[in-house]
Structure 1
Amino acid sequence: MKTVTLFPVEREGDRFIGIPARNDLEYRQLIAGYCGLQWSHDHRCYLMPYSRFHLNAIFQHFRAAEWYVNYSELRFSSTTRESPSTPSPETVHETVVIELEDYMHWMKQLRYSKNTINTYTGLLRVFFAYFHEKDPKEITNDDVEDFNKGYILEKGYSRVFQSQIISALKLFYMRFHSRELDIHHLERPRKAQRLPEVLSKAEVASLLMAVKNSKHRFMLSLIYSCGLRIGEALNIRLNDMDLDRRFVHIRHAKGAKDRFIPLGDRILDKMRQYMATYKPKDYLIEGRDGGAYSQSSARQVLIKAVSNTQITKHVTLHTLRHSYATHLLENGTDVRYIQELLGHNDPKTTMIYTHVSTNSLQKIRNPFDDLAI
């Protein structure tokens, strides 16, 4: 059985549970599936506030994947704030453990993605650990409001985190205890109207040219040229591509939807060169030991590439998708086609790119130019 060892971290008088980083794919997936962790560059580990319900939640998260959690080192010096005795992860209500196991299997049967299953179950463990002495049947809408005020807002977590908690709870109580919690009156936070970060075509070119490894350059080129989510790009198999018809079949994308993406001339040439050089066997982009390339490795490729350019914007892999959509719009592509290419259900989601496109904005005459000064 694999083991993860938790350790104490003290920062500015506050106490945290430290979770080490590890170059292990299963471990990284477990970390990615647990919401609320913060990466500390100073301590080179993941942090969560030190409390019984946090320890309970992370314990249950790893135990569900059959990992052993060693928390014997969680001792703090006497100079830190006084705290309750070392919590016991076994105090999570036993009903929660049983029902979350059922909940996971139920979501798998409904074909929810692995990321959604990990995210929802991780969030529910945090929520129910907060009320560790309560049976889920005893949870009320008032408890949800208390959790929102005392945990989400107090800790400064995002609107996305808050909204995902509501989604996870609604699905859980639809499956169990539907009469105990009025899920129809659980309100989501108002969405922030933020515009996506977009690179210019020149910035995209400089980014790709900064990647020396041809495999890594092809991967980023593919994401941009097809407007793919990172998970979609890394899940492409060889039999998903029809090079004669110049299409790639994106299967089981977000919302369990398939779609076809046309391949342009240049990416098609790059793809043929890449396949002749690397000879993938199953997935188009494979890891060193076979299988799909990992998302964390792809992110590291991007981070390194950005560091070798003069780009000062906050760039993620999704920025390439945003840039693709914006550049299509600036080239005169109809929004309805862009919606289809991106796989958006709601055209309102695609319309956000009309706000970041520069074509129309640059045509507006600035009234300052009319001043004779």
Structure 2
Amino acid sequence: MIQNQKMIGIKFMPDKLIQALIKSLPDPKWSQRHNMAYIPNTKENLGILYNTFRGAVWINYNRFFTNKPQNSYNETVDIAYYRKRKPIPDYRYCPEEYLLKLELKRYAKSTVRTYVFFFEMFINHCRHKDLQTIDEIDIRAFLQQLIQRNVSNSYLNQAINAIKFYYEVVMDMPNRFYEIERPRREFKLPKVISKDEVLSLIENANNLKHKCIISLLYSSGLRRSELLNLKLADVDSKRMLIRVEGSKGNKDRHTLLSQTVLEDLRLYFREWKPREYLFEGQKGGRYSPQSVLKIVKEAALKAKVRQSVTPHVLRHSFATHLLESGVDLRQIQVLLGHGSSKTTEIYTHVATNTFKNIKNPLD
């Protein structure tokens, strides 16, 4: 935005060819503040830009087409909750256009919740400024306040994403705040427990239902949300597979079904008689995420496992133990539903067989 008008900014490394091509564009100007060339943002100029630079430079076209749906398969998000909230004195709610764009792009519920939370935190930090007049200085001041609270890098990145979503996607200003610095991505090793500790967890479950939940999380490498979404038909006892539908990234996959777990599931089914979902609450319907976490935590406490255990620790342990037993990394990637092999490669950093062949210099 320059003098309240949308412009196409052109930032490039010093190059005589590019400079010559920019001069051939209609009425190009230079912005000292943004340190880049620019022309008015019109459809005609966009076409001229593509034709001028075709074959000479690489342009990220996605920055100009931000209105495409993010996801066609996500369940409908109930934005009405955010719209119906009672006004709070001196508190700014998310603008309607922000909510509408989240709704149209069909972001996952968790993403909507995160974006609304962080954007409202930001606009209330700058509550005395109009959203159109906010600049990089305001954003940096907000981020500095978060840093002083000693929040994680992931927390900071989520805040930046929520802010950029408004200006770049809702207001259609690609790369308006391109100068905002992002924190370095943290590299943390997955937490893993031993096979003996996993067995001890299962043995210390309160009842058969809890035992099946802990066993499935580990033996199939399921995320907590995937476990809760499992339906009776998803357990394929003939092929010894579990079908996982609509997992992270809206991908379906199959994962392993343990013979031991299958026998426990049959006993569980006769006793508990679930109707739709494999694990249901007392009044029917999907089991709650909080209940699953509580089950795992209580079993870990009884089993006297020293480190903190969550459902995701069981998933990490599943992948690590497979790698240690010689299963190919690509097969583990498929079982976990990872889109990239780089995500799965992190388990090579914690698998014990990585270190077994290395002789300790002290010994």
TM-score tier (shorter): 0.7 to 0.9
Q: Is residue 248–residue 263 contact of structure 1 (8 Å, CA) maintained in 2?
A: yes
Report the Cα distance in structure 1 between the residues aligned to 2:257 and 2:82, rounded to whole angstroms.
41
Q: State the partner residue of 2:278.
A: 284
Match of 1:367 in 2: 361
Return the offset for 1:62.
Answer: 11
Q: CA RMSD in A?
A: 2.2
Query: Residues 1-373 of structure 1: matches in 2 within 5 Å?
Result: 64=82, 66=84, 89-93=88-92, 96-107=94-105, 110=106, 112-150=107-145, 152-179=146-173, 182-369=176-363
Change (3 A) 1:303 1:345: same
Q: CA offset at residue 183 of structure 1?
A: 4.4
Q: 1:100 to 1:237 in 2, by over 3 A?
A: same
Structure-2 change in CA distance of 1:220 and 1:283 (3 Å): same
Gaps of 5+ in 1: 1-60, 70-88
- 1:346/1:320 Cα in 2 relative to 1: closer, same or farther (>3 Å)? same
TM-fit CA distance, 1:184: 4.0
Q: Using the alignment, how far apart are the partners of 1:63 and 1:247 within structure 2?
A: 38
Task: Quote how far apart the aligned CAs of 1:188 are.
Answer: 2.8
1: CA distance, partners of 2:92 / 2:303: 51
Change beyond 3 A, Cα 1:67–1:290: farther
In the TM superposition, residue 271 of structure 1 has moved relative to its aligned partner by 2.0
Q: What TM-score do the two structures reach when normalised by structure 2?
A: 0.73
Residues 130-160 of structure 1: CA deviation (Å, up to 9, x unaligned): 111223222222322211112x101111111
| Secondary structure of the corresponding residue to residue 95 of structure 2 | helix
More off after superposition, 270-279 vs 303-312:
270-279
Instruction: Indicate conservation of the 8 Å contact 1:207/1:306, yes or no.
Output: yes
Question: For structure 1, which segment, 319-328 or 166-175, has the greater mean C-alpha deviation from structure 2 after superposition?
Answer: 166-175
Distance 2:181 2:253 in 1: 32
Q: CA deviation at 1:332?
A: 0.5
Give TM-score scaled by structure 1 length.
0.71
Q: Deviations over 1:321-355 (max 9, x none)?
A: 00000001001011111111111112111111001
Map Cα deviations across residues 207-236 of structure 1 (whole Å, 9 max, x no partner). 111112110111111111111110111011
Query: Quick check: which has more Rg, 1 or 2?
Result: 2
- Identify unmatched segments of 5+ residues in structure 2: 1-78
1:65 deviates by 7.0
1:296 CA drift (Å):
0.7
Matched with 1:52 is: none
Q: 2:7 maps to what in 1?
A: none
* Secondary structure of the corresponding residue to residue 367 of structure 1: coil
> Taking structure 1 as reference, are residues 114 and 180 closer, same or farther at Cα in structure 2, changes over 3 Å only?
closer
